[in-house]
A and B are shown apart, each in its own frame.
Chain A
């Protein structure tokens, strides 16, 4: 192999240095380091102008694709065109897109283990400890409900069906491993250099990468994208880091969490509480103040009261934990939580097997050397302010994803932003990421999909008298025979009377809310009006069709409860 490569280079008229590992003193040591840096255990291991190309086959592939010639010609002051810090949804999308555009790209990704010791592979929050495992656990809970419904639809079995947490977690973790692997593969296919190392700026255009063994390498690039995302926040009270878990730990937990206290009222808190209860666990949510802050509060109220009344989740409102104590070790153990009222001197305590903190997330921006190159962050929340092309105050440094100030913390947004950024930086496009009317869905037991403004925000922006709010309860057909409750699924749109009754807010609470909402988001992108809604024929029998027949406005104040059918 080595000879072939040598021949290739000499045919190109390029000189190369060869280090024969079996002829130097510390050959084995060099090989080990090489494999750390490059993830390649075999030789020959070829570098061109400091860039790792690969083995013999990859060198010939690079020759065929023209990459090799490009690398040889490159006389750039920097090793890379782009270094992306953070291998989550946004970072990977940006890196791959830049590579497609022919650029030399490196991605640094390193998961600092959670205080409980949980860590994971490439792909970031969404794949490992976010959207993917949460939707799968949500699905597990929905299937529990389906089992319950199925008897009403004629399926016959008598046994009490139990849920096995380990089986579920194994299946989900297997899927995640395949996704991690897929990301590795797609980086390799696109010739993006991947380092499983922690990246820190050390000087302008230069980053230090530290791997798990503490080995350091330095790399330079013309441009940088910061996409480090966020990690769950801790309370800062006695016992929290020792005994509590977060969403970083829950999805790979080796044992069923048992009786669980979820602290927080974010969508993460409600989603976790929802599926844990759906799997049959005793779940309490401790809420300091507002449920689903930033979302439409009427929807939040309906969603949480469904969880409380129909789904068996207990809510402790206006309390915050002040201490967590371990009573018994075990899997799970037993914890005592002391909480105090936010409104008075009252304290309460409770005993739980697991305490899950979901009180918010902190940006991973404070320990990556940003101060060394002068990138400004918002000192309060650690977020990075950027302009409308995701550029920080340092012109060659960009930021995308959850660490952006004032932007939605959503995977598809980060992906979109990452791709478009790469195209603007290295392609001919000038398209900017559009952060308006981004749809999203909260996967609580009753799913909540929305796009556009909440009613509160709409009133704030347009004033109440200029709005018309249409709404209705609906009863999914499948729920009738299943004997599930009426008047909990709810549809609402907010229209701007001053602009042809344009739909500026869309909200749906019910099964498959995510699937329903997506198309409506497209319609809102096309400036949907109420009239167009009315003119569109429904698909019968679905839940989505309710939006084509909304007649009752809030201002009329008519009854929207459904009677019978």
Chain B
């Protein structure tokens, strides 16, 4: 009854200070609400911990893109010679220096997030949260001190953490994950990356790029949820630039040798043969698990998916308990991307406390994989388009191209490739765009808008190109797969 209800401390309590949680909290505060954020980083099995801001800032997008940039700069140093810069090759790379610079930047971002919360009068608790009941959450600080918070509305935005294999001897003891790699003080040395998702490929890509001996072990298909033709070009490029791929292999054991190196044993599933090699570092990138285990969700009544352990949500981001919401990587069926979490968080706060009723639209979310050759995409993959519309209703326009800068640098452009997936019937609505090449992220963003505006193939073709860029190749895609004509570069 009204009388026995506890005093509610906050209008909104956000559990998880990552991209989505912080965006939601700040937006609610902006709308004049009393808001609290609880954030706590459980140290990784290797003991790595970090500050406020969640995965993206600390162990995701930001350090990953910076290390990717370090690797790209390595390529530019080699290019520079062709462009007249007299730099003696090869140039050695210092992990220690790079890591320190990257880590310093991340720390400045942690600080920035703290300041922003303070500026917006959001109360921040560095505590580990667990539900007491559907309106009350207990927070436990590092020193064991407890805080009880209650709120009218609660948003769960706890994200996810890397998964460790459970059946492989030595995996947990000796392996690291993306939670650790960016915070290593010393070079990981010769590295085995296990996994086939974008995290695995991105990490393997920059490790190779800064000169480390890197192997990727893949059980089945790389970049499973992406367009498979693009995916194979991504790995083909990596393989031709020094990343070793072990396909159809699964590790069975990691042992520490007396000298401290790691001996990994794996099974080649096609031949059934066993093989071993020695590495300095083993990085697991086999997926992520949502951070729902320690929340005591059963006390709140919030339901999770029995398969994924993710929180079940409706289109309003509400969980099975109407005043409890979930956004970002922890919510079932959402793309695991920072900008979607941010947008979802902001829209949720606006719906809760503002005049808006706008829902998050998860269609046509663009993204980019920052592998050595970047892969940007928006909309449907070719496979999805065919599955949805039927082969005979889909027209795919495609081209290989050579970035102008590659010519003088004598770089191989065999994998620079673009395809646009369209409906076949006029006006040939664009369903998806896939771009493999330098600056794919920058290229893709604007086209994502075009697709949102309902661009047709004809409209894309009517747009004048910007010369000389890579993105102009998109507005010059004349050859359809159906025509069978050669999509390779013809001289100029």
Query: With contacts defined as CB atoms under 8 Å apart, how many contacts are there between chain A and chain B in the complex?
Result: 298
Interface residues of A in 114-160 (CB under 8 A from B): 126-127, 131-132, 135-136, 139-140, 143-144, 146-147, 149-150, 152-157, 159
Interface residues of B in 101-122 (CB under 8 A from A): 101-102, 105, 108-109, 111-113, 115
In the complex formed, the residue of A with least CB distance to B473 is A518
Cβ A439 vs Cβ B466 within 8 A: yes
Judge whether A537 is part of the interface by a CB distance below 8 angstroms: yes
Bitwise, B448-469 to A at CB < 8 A (1) or not (0) is: 1110111100011011111111
Judge whether A516 is part of the interface by a CB distance below 8 angstroms: yes
Q: Which listed residue, B102, B466, B468, touches A521 by the CB 8 Å rule?
A: B466
Cβ A539 vs Cβ B109 within 8 A: no
Bitwise, A355-394 to B at CB < 8 A (1) or not (0) is: 0000000000000000000000000000000000000000
Q: How far is A508 from B116 in the complex, measured between Cα atoms in Å? A: 26
- Chain B: interface size category: 35 or more
Judge whether A46 is part of the interface by a CB distance below 8 angstroms: no
List chain B residues, Cβ under 8 A from A150. 70, 73-74, 76-77, 91
Cβ B210 vs Cβ A136 within 8 A: no
Q: Which listed residue, B85, B105, B475, touches A481 by the CB 8 Å rule?
A: B105
Cβ B61 vs Cβ A541 within 8 A: yes
Cβ A155 vs Cβ B442 within 8 A: no
Judge whether B227 is part of the interface by a CB distance below 8 angstroms: no
Judge whether B338 is part of the interface by a CB distance below 8 angstroms: yes
Asked whether A514 and B408 contact (CB < 8 A) given A147-B76, A545-B445, the answer is no
Asked whether A565 and B408 contact (CB < 8 A) given A164-B86, A523-B453, the answer is no
Cβ A526 vs Cβ B454 within 8 A: yes
Judge whether A163 is part of the interface by a CB distance below 8 angstroms: yes
List chain A residues, Cβ under 8 A from B450. 519, 522-523, 525-526, 528
Bitwise, A179-219 to B at CB < 8 A (1) or not (0) is: 10111011000000000000000000000000000000000
List chain A residues, Cβ under 8 A from B468. 131-132, 135
Asked whether A182 and B491 contact (CB < 8 A) given A514-B466, A519-B474, the answer is yes
Cβ A416 vs Cβ B464 within 8 A: yes
Judge whether B404 is part of the interface by a CB distance below 8 angstroms: yes
Cβ A532 vs Cβ B453 within 8 A: yes
Q: How far is A539 from B343 in the complex, measured between Cα atoms in Å? A: 12
Cβ B367 vs Cβ A156 within 8 A: no
Q: How far is A441 from B70 in the complex, measured between Cα atoms in Å? A: 26
Judge whether B365 is part of the interface by a CB distance below 8 angstroms: yes
Judge whether B337 is part of the interface by a CB distance below 8 angstroms: yes
Cβ B464 vs Cβ A478 within 8 A: no
Q: How far is A186 from B490 in the complex, measured between Cα atoms in Å? A: 9
Judge whether B351 is part of the interface by a CB distance below 8 angstroms: no
Q: How far is A565 from B53 in the complex, measured between Cα atoms in Å? A: 12
Cβ B92 vs Cβ A156 within 8 A: yes
Cβ A155 vs Cβ B74 within 8 A: yes
Q: Which listed residue, A159, A416, A523, A544, touches B442 by the CB 8 Å rule?
A: A544
Judge whether A171 is part of the interface by a CB distance below 8 angstroms: yes
Asked whether A157 and B84 contact (CB < 8 A) given A512-B439, A518-B475, the answer is no
Cβ A515 vs Cβ B470 within 8 A: yes
Judge whether A542 is part of the interface by a CB distance below 8 angstroms: yes
Q: How far is A188 from B41 in the complex, measured between Cα atoms in Å? A: 67
Q: How far is A543 from B446 in the complex, measured between Cα atoms in Å? A: 11
Give the Cβ gap from B29 to chain A, nearest Cβ, in Å: 16
Judge whether B88 is part of the interface by a CB distance below 8 angstroms: yes
Cβ A146 vs Cβ B455 within 8 A: no
Bitwise, A87-127 to B at CB < 8 A (1) or not (0) is: 00000000000000000000000000000000000000011
Cβ B82 vs Cβ A171 within 8 A: yes
Asked whether A525 and B84 contact (CB < 8 A) given A156-B91, A539-B368, A539-B448, the answer is no
A143, A179, A185, A438 pick with most chain B CB within 10 angstroms: A143
Please choose the segment from A77-85, A240-248, A322-330, A406-414 that sits at the chain B interface, where 4 or more of its residues have CB less than 8 A away. A406-414
Judge whether A28 is part of the interface by a CB distance below 8 angstroms: no
Give the Cβ gap from B476 to chain A, nearest Cβ, in Å: 9
Give the Cβ gap from B115 to chain A, nearest Cβ, in Å: 8
Cβ B453 vs Cβ A527 within 8 A: yes
Asked whether A441 and B459 contact (CB < 8 A) given A522-B447, A539-B448, the answer is no
Cβ A515 vs Cβ B492 within 8 A: no
Give the Cβ gap from B108 to chain A, nearest Cβ, in Å: 6
Cβ B94 vs Cβ A154 within 8 A: yes
List chain A residues, Cβ under 8 A from B469. 441, 514-515, 518
In the complex formed, the residue of A with least CB distance to B210 is A154
Cβ A153 vs Cβ B73 within 8 A: yes
Cβ B95 vs Cβ A154 within 8 A: yes
Q: How far is A527 from B459 in the complex, measured between Cα atoms in Å? A: 11
Judge whether B314 is part of the interface by a CB distance below 8 angstroms: no
Cβ A153 vs Cβ B368 within 8 A: no
In the complex formed, the residue of B with least CB distance to A151 is B97
Give the Cβ gap from B20 to chain A, nearest Cβ, in Å: 12
Asked whether A515 and B452 contact (CB < 8 A) given A146-B76, A161-B86, A410-B464, the answer is no
Q: How far is A193 from B474 in the complex, measured between Cα atoms in Å? A: 31
Cβ B492 vs Cβ A182 within 8 A: yes
Asked whether A154 and B445 contact (CB < 8 A) given A178-B491, A179-B492, A541-B62, the answer is no
Q: How far is A522 from B459 in the complex, measured between Cα atoms in Å? A: 7
Judge whether A43 is part of the interface by a CB distance below 8 angstroms: no
Cβ A155 vs Cβ B108 within 8 A: no
Cβ B69 vs Cβ A153 within 8 A: yes
Judge whether B189 is part of the interface by a CB distance below 8 angstroms: no
B65, B93, B407 pick with most chain A CB within 10 angstroms: B407
Judge whether B54 is part of the interface by a CB distance below 8 angstroms: no
Give the Cβ gap from B474 to chain A, nearest Cβ, in Å: 7
B84, B112, B340, B465 pick with most chain A CB within 10 angstroms: B84
Judge whether B16 is part of the interface by a CB distance below 8 angstroms: no
Give the Cβ gap from B447 to chain A, nearest Cβ, in Å: 4
Cβ B446 vs Cβ A519 within 8 A: yes
Q: Which listed residue, B337, B404, B455, touches A132 by the CB 8 Å rule?
A: B404
In the complex formed, the residue of A with least CB distance to B430 is A522
Interface residues of A in 511-561 (CB under 8 A from B): 512, 514-523, 525-528, 532-533, 535-545, 547-548
Give the Cβ gap from B227 to chain A, nearest Cβ, in Å: 16
B111, B405, B463 pick with most chain A CB within 10 angstroms: B463
Q: How far is A150 from B402 in the complex, measured between Cα atoms in Å? A: 25
Judge whether B45 is part of the interface by a CB distance below 8 angstroms: no
Q: How far is A182 from B450 in the complex, measured between Cα atoms in Å? A: 33
Q: How far is A166 from B82 in the complex, measured between Cα atoms in Å? A: 11
Q: Which listed residue, B105, B343, B441, B470, touches A480 by the CB 8 Å rule?
A: B105
Cβ B443 vs Cβ A519 within 8 A: yes
Cβ B93 vs Cβ A155 within 8 A: yes
Cβ A518 vs Cβ B77 within 8 A: no
Give the Cβ gap from A76 to chain B, nearest Cβ, in Å: 30
Q: How far is A28 from B453 in the complex, measured between Cα atoms in Å? A: 66
Interface residues of B in 202-252 (CB under 8 A from A): 210
Asked whether A528 and B453 contact (CB < 8 A) given A146-B73, A518-B471, the answer is yes
Residues of A within 8 A of B (CB): 126-127, 131-132, 135-136, 139-140, 143-144, 146-147, 149-150, 152-157, 159, 161-168, 171-172, 175, 178-179, 181-183, 185-186, 279, 410-413, 416, 434, 438-441, 449, 477-478, 480-481, 512, 514-523, 525-528, 532-533, 535-545, 547-548, 563-565
- List 16 extra interface pairs beyond A154-B101, A477-B62, A535-B452, CB under 8 A: A155-B70, A167-B84, A181-B491, A182-B491, A185-B491, A412-B464, A412-B467, A481-B102, A519-B447, A519-B450, A523-B452, A532-B453, A533-B449, A535-B361, A538-B445, A539-B339
Residues of B within 8 A of A (CB): 56, 61-62, 65-66, 69-70, 73-74, 76-77, 79-80, 82-88, 91-99, 101-102, 105, 108-109, 111-113, 115, 210, 337-340, 343, 361, 365-368, 376, 404-405, 407-408, 439, 441-450, 452-455, 459-460, 462-472, 474-475, 490-492
A-B pairs with lowest CB-CB distance, top 3: A519-B446, A154-B98, A544-B445
Q: List 14 A-B contacts (CB under 8 A).
A: A131-B467, A136-B404, A140-B85, A152-B101, A154-B98, A157-B91, A161-B85, A167-B83, A171-B408, A481-B66, A519-B471, A522-B459, A541-B65, A541-B441
